[in-house]
Each structure stands twice: as C-alpha cells, then as structure tokens.
C-alpha cells in the first residue's frame, strides 16, 4: 500500500526520565490551510512488534495524520523495539502506562501540545484503556481488538459458524470436550462461575471481567474522554456482530456513550489489504472528527493541571541526522571516512 512519500517530516527521538524510550515524531506536512496542531496522536507496539507496527501500519497512520495536520509520536514501550528496559520494578502494565505519559511529556515539551488521542492495536489497546481513566491529556482512545466478551447472541452465531465450517459431528465433539473441561474446572474449584459473562482469551491474553472493563471505560467517558472500540473479523466465534459492543456495555449505561464498529474484513494484525484500508480510513475519519469538534465536557471534567512534566527536562533529541559526504553512483567511498 502506498504511503506516499515525503514531505512528511520524520524524526527519531529519545525521551523519558531514564532516556531509555525511543519514538518517531511525524510532523504535519505543512500543506496550505493546515492550522497549528492542538492535538497529537500516540501509537505504540502491537504485542512485541516494534513501533512501526505490524506491516508498518503505524507509519502509514502517522503519514496520513500528517496530511490532515496532526502530528504523531509512535514509540516503543520499555523493553520493546529500540527502547531500553526501565530500571524500575513496576509490573509491565504499570511501566507502560508511565511510558505513555512520558511520550505525552515529550510531545508537550517539543510542540506545546497537551491533548492526545491514542490508537492502540491489541496490546496497545490495553495500555490506552488502562492509561485513559486517570490521564486528562488523553482526550480520546481508539482500541482495535480490545478484550472480547461473548453474549448469548454471539454464542449462537459462533455455533452456527462452527457447524458450517466443521460440520455437525466435529462441532458436537468439540463442544462436548469443552463442556467436559468446564465441568472439571468447576468441580476442581468447588464453586460455580460468577454471573458475569466469561471473558475470553484474546490471542493469548486473558481479559479482565466485563464489569472492570466497563468501569474503566466509564471513568474515561465521565471525565470527558472519547472512546472508540473497533473489532476485527478474526474472532468469528466470540465477537461476531457489530452491536455486540453495545450489548456488552448497555448494563453499565455506556452503550450510547462510546463509539464502536466492526471491521469484518480486517484480521487481528491488519495483514489483509481490504481490512487494513478500512481500518486506516476509520482511524483518519475518527481523528479528523475528534480534533475538529470540541471534546464533550462533563461536570466532572478536570481542568488540565500541568503537573506531570517531571521528565521533560530529561528529554532531548539525540538522533541527529548525519549526511554522509558525496558518493559516487550512490555508493560511499569508505576509505575517505575511515579514521
């Protein structure tokens, strides 16, 4: 997929109180009519993939945002990509929340921007979701394939799909095995499962209970943050209809307070072209809309308190660009450069 070429300005940055974090800042392309940016986008790792994202999707996103006048910092969390590990002893999620705040500090120090939208895919969605409730600078989060919470309807749709795909006999065997394992689990625990819908695994990561997920989303919404949940078509047995998100969140009064969509053609890591195009378009449309309209205010919206800037003094660009001396036919003459 063509990302178009420059004039996007892409610079590598090193930041954070330990100067262990690495990111790439993509600046607006400066096309006529672009206003000074007031919001920046944050992008980060997907699983353990580096900050360019699967299939370089974060690069593509950043360049598209540059063309609508929105700067982007895509960064590696501690220990991933080019970022070094933190010397702290926090658990991974807590550390990555701190890293996300440090990324905001870095952009704020560089550009004076103090409103951010974070777009997270898979594990990146988890960090956006965990950071947002208590971070007033995060005016919106877009989560792609966050946690999955089946409903009765999704279970029926999933069962029909299994029967179509595997046949009746194979599906019956599969289901019998699952029931058997579930019974064994209940007997072993000596207690019945709770009333909450059981959370499912999402590519190896266990999910929090739906009540906890909804509580954090609710806290973000309550302070005026926007939330978009996007789901791929990679979970045909667990998340398989667009209104499933609303069905999940309705008991918590959030069904009409968050935005959601299902991109059926997209796979979980956005490898397929058709789905990726839809994902990119949806992200650009969302960022354009959210940056154009004022953030909805609530009575509980706190005023921004610039008190989280302890790391700013440590931030510095060390990634100087070196232009090598003239080369013949595009190839360097190393002898000239040897010490």
* Contacting residues toward another protein, per CB under 8 A: 1-6, 8, 10-12, 14, 22, 24, 47-52, 54-56, 59, 81-82, 84, 165, 232-234, 236-237, 264-265, 267-276, 318-324, 327, 330-335, 337-339
> How far apart are the C-alpha atoms of 22 and 39, rounded to whole Å?
20
Nearer to another protein, 305 or 335 (CB): 335
Could you please report the per-residue DSSP string of 126-162?
HHHHHHGGG-TTEEEEEEES------HHHHHHHHHHH
For residue 329, the minimal CB distance to another protein (Å) is 8
CB of 22 to another protein, least distance (A): 5
CB of 175 to another protein, least distance (A): 16
Q: How far is the CB of 264 from another protein (least distance, A)?
A: 7
In the bound complex, what is the minimum distance in angstroms from residue 193's beta carbon to another protein?
Answer: 25
Which of 62, 214 has the CB closer to another protein?
62
The residue among 22 and 254 lying less far from another protein, judged by its C-beta, is: 22
Q: How many residues in the chain? A: 339
Q: Residues near 309 by Cβ (< 8 Å), separated by ≥ 6?
A: 105, 108, 109
Question: Which C-beta is closer to another protein: that of 254 or that of 269?
Answer: 269
Q: How far is the CB of 9 from another protein (least distance, A)?
A: 9
In which region does residue 224 sit, left (phi positive, over 0), alpha (psi from -120 to 50) or beta (all else)?
left
CA angle 197, 198, 202 (to 5 degrees): 120
* Of 5 and 297, CB closest to another protein: 5
Q: Is 326 exposed, middle or buried, given 0-12, 13-18 or 19+ CB atoms closer than 10 A?
A: exposed
Instruction: For residue 28, give the DSSP letter.
Output: -
Instruction: Locate 149 and state its tokens.
Output: 């919470």
Q: Which is nearer to another protein, 49 or 249 (CB)?
A: 49
Number of Cβ within a 10 Å radius of residue 100: 27
């Amino acid at each position: 997929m063509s990302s178009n070429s420059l004039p996007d300005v892409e610079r590598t940055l090193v930041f954070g109180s330990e100067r262990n974090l690495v990111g790439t800042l993509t600046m607006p392309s400066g096309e006529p009519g672009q206003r000074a940016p007031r919001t920046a986008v944050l992008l980060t790792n997907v699983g353990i993939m580096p900050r360019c994202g699967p299939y370089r999707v974060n690069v593509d996103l950043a360049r598209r945002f540059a063309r609508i006048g929105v700067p982007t910092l895509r960064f590696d969390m501690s220990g991933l990509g080019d970022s070094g590990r933190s010397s702290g002893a926090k658990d991974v999620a807590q550390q990555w929340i701190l890293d996300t705040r440090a990324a905001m500090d870095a952009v704020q120090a560089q550009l004076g921007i103090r409103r951010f939208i974070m777009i997270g895919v898979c594990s990146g969605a988890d960090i956006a979701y965990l950071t947002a409730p208590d971070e007033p600078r995060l005016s919106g989060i877009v989560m792609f394939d966050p946690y999955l919470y089946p409903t009765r309807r999704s279970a029926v749709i999933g069962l029909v799909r299994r029967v179509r795909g595997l046949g009746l006999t194979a599906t019956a065997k599969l289901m019998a095995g699952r029931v058997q394992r579930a019974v064994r689990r209940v007997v072993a625990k000596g207690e019945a499962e709770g009333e909450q819908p059981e959370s499912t695994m999402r590519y190896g990561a266990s999910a929090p209970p739906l009540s906890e997920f909804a509580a954090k989303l609710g806290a973000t919404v309550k302070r005026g943050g926007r939330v978009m949940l996007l789901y791929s078509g990679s979970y045909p047995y667990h998340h398989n209809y667009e209104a499933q998100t609303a069905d999940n969140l309705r008991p918590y009064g959030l069904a009409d307070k968050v935005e959601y969509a299902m991109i059926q053609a997209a796979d979980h890591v956005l490898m397929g072209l058709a789905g990726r195009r839809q994902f990119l378009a949806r992200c650009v449309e969302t960022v354009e809309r959210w940056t154009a309209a004022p953030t909805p205010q609530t009575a509980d919206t706190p005023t921004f308190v610039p008190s989280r800037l302890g790391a700013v003094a440590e931030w510095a660009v060390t990634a100087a660009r070196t232009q090598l001396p003239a080369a013949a036919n595009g190839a360097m003459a190393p002898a000239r450069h040897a010490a």
